[in-house]
Structure formats: structure tokens, C-alpha cells
């Protein structure tokens, strides 16, 4: 593992492997999304504006989620968690990035649905790169394991000196095929982003069984409940847009003529 890649000379500011992978995830997702925008009838020049909104919203959302969650867990001051350099929560980033992206689309008169569909495969790719960053810094690992690929994180957060499940990489192994399937379905799905949410949530529910998060209700952890919520939201939005498309595709001749009275 490589928590710190290098230190900027003169100011001794450390550059973490997670920060680099997170930036790479944002940029890769941006590049893939911009390539897809023309197929949705959207000018790719708006991509840079969307990127800025999503990056700012994603980082703020991830920090706010972490700070609120830790404040209620520990009772320590909210600001102490918000201002820490570490403390990034993926689901907070997903919520914040999605909301800020939707606001950007609304302000610029862009179809929110089409942008979300264009971004769906790239979100899975970007998330997988972020999870590689988690692996490199030794964060979000799983339970003890004697499997051949189990890894110890002596400099992790927190450190662990015995082999554990590298659950960060399990998510990568799940998300990359998800991205490939979403890419193949981009012209077939009624709402591709809904399918991403379903796959994202389902994968987290399963992988979370190998992690160390405390159970909060009905034997499930907080990330598992959020994962279930994503599945519900994704499925509901998928069904809604499928029904909407069918209503729009139905021509007047397909409808039953009104009966005379």
C-alpha cells in the first residue's frame, strides 16, 4: 500500500494515493460522459461546467455526510470532522454530486435525464478508481481472512496487521463489469442511471457482509440500508421512465375510440 505518493517540496504537503485516484476517477468519468453527450443531443462543451459542479458537490457531500455521521456516532464537534483532511464518504459524494449536477442542468436548460443516462457507465468507472484509492491507503477493508489474496494494512486507517478481505478491490471487480453492461445497454434502457443505482446498491449490500461496519437495524449495517435505498430508487425511477416512454410512444390510433352515447 502507498498512502502517500510524494510530498510537495518547499511546503511539505503530502499527496495521498487516494487523492490522486479520486481526481483520476473524476477526470475519467468526465471524459467518458462528454464522449456520450452528443448521442443524447447535448453540446459536449457544457461538460466542463458540469464537471466543476459535480466535483464541488461531490466533495462537499462526502465531507458533510462523514461529519454528520461521525458527530452522531461519537458526540464530538461536527466542525472537527468537517475540517479534517481525511474523512470522505462515497454515498455522501454520490448524493452531493448528483444533486449539484441536477442543479447545473436545470440552470443551463439541459435535460437532467439525458445527462444522468450519459453519465451512468462513467460513474461506475469513476467509483472503481476511487475504490482503488481506498485500497492504496488501507481504508474500508473487510474482516479477517485466510484467503490467498487477503491483505494486511499496517499503515491503514485504522492499521491492521493480520490479513483481511480487500473489499475495496471486490467492489472494483463488481463495478467494472457493471460499467461494461451499462455501456452496452445505453440505447436500450429506459433509464440507465436507475440501472447503475440498482447495481451499485446490490453490490454494496453483498460486499458489506465481509466488512466491519456495525449493524444498525434488523441485522444490517448503515451502508447496506443505503444500498437497499439505492436499489429502490433505481428501480422506481426505471419503472417510471419506462411507463412515461410507453405513454409517449402510444399514438392516437392505438387508443380505443370513444364510444358514442
More confident: 46 or 10: 46
Q: Give the residue from 28, 194, 191 showing the smallest Cα distance to 114.
A: 191
> Would you place residue 259 in the very low, low, confident or very high pLDDT band (cuts 50, 70, 90)?
very low
Q: Picking from 16-20, 21-25, 129-133, which range would have the lowest pLDDT averaged per residue?
A: 16-20
More confident: 14 or 85: 14
pLDDT recorded at residue 228: 96
d(CA 198, CA 229): 9
Tell me how many degrees the CA angle 60-116-36 measures, rounded to the nearest 5.
115
What's the chain's average pLDDT? 85
C-alpha cell recorded at residue 125 = 468507472
With a pLDDT cut of 90, the percent of the chain lying above it is 43
pLDDT tops 50 at residue 255: no
> Would you place residue 76 in the very low, low, confident or very high pLDDT band (cuts 50, 70, 90)?
confident
d(CA 48, CA 27): 10
With a pLDDT cut of 70, the percent of the chain lying above it is 90
pLDDT recorded at residue 260: 39
d(CA 140, CA 9): 30
CA distances from 247 to 139, 176, 243, 250, 254 (A): 47, 34, 6, 5, 11
Give the list of residues 6+ apart from residue 178 with CB closer than 8 angstroms, or none: 124, 196, 199, 200, 203
> Do the Cβ atoms of 186 and 36 come closer than 8 Å?
yes
d(CA 39, CA 67): 39
Measured in degrees and rounded to the nearest 5, phi and psi for residue 187 equal -110, 5
Amino acid at each position: 500500500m502507498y498512502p502517500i505518493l510524494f510530498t510537495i517540496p518547499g511546503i511539505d504537503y503530502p499527496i495521498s494515493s487516494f487523492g490522486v485516484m479520486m481526481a483520476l476517477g473524476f477526470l475519467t468519468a468526465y471524459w467518458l460522459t462528454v464522449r456520450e453527450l452528443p448521442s443524447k443531443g447535448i453540446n459536449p462543451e457544457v461538460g466542463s461546467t458540469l464537471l466543476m459542479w459535480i466535483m464541488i458537490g461531490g466533495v462537499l457531500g462526502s465531507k458533510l455526510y462523514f461529519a454528520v455521521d461521525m458527530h452522531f456516532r461519537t458526540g464530538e464537534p461536527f466542525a472537527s470532522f468537517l475540517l479534517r483532511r481525511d474523512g470522505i464518504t462515497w454515498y455522501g459524494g454520490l448524493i452531493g454530486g448528483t444533486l449539484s449536477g441536477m442543479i447545473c442542468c436545470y440552470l443551463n436548460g439541459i435535460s437532467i435525464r439525458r445527462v444522468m443516462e450519459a453519465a451512468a457507465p462513467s460513474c461506475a468507472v469513476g467509483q472503481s478508481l476511487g475504490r482503488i484509492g481506498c485500497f492504496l491507503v488501507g481504508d474500508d477493508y473487510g474482516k479477517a481472512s485466510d484467503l490467498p489474496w487477503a491483505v494486511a494494512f499496517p499503515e491503514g486507517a485504522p492499521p491492521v496487521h493480520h490479513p483481511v478481505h480487500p473489499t475495496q478491490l471486490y467492489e472494483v471487480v463488481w463495478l467494472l463489469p457493471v460499467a461494461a453492461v451499462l455501456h452496452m445497454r445505453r440505447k436500450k434502457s429506459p433509464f440507465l442511471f436507475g440501472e447503475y443505482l440498482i447495481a451499485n446498491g446490490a453490490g454494496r449490500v453483498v460486499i458489506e457482509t465481509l466488512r466491519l461496519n456495525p449493524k444498525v437495524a434488523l441485522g444490517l449495517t448503515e451502508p447496506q440500508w443505503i444500498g437497499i435505498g439505492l436499489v429502490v430508487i433505481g428501480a422506481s425511477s426505471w419503472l417510471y421512465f419506462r411507463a412515461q416512454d410507453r405513454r409517449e410512444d402510444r399514438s392516437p390510433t392505438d387508443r380505443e375510440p370513444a364510444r358514442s352515447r
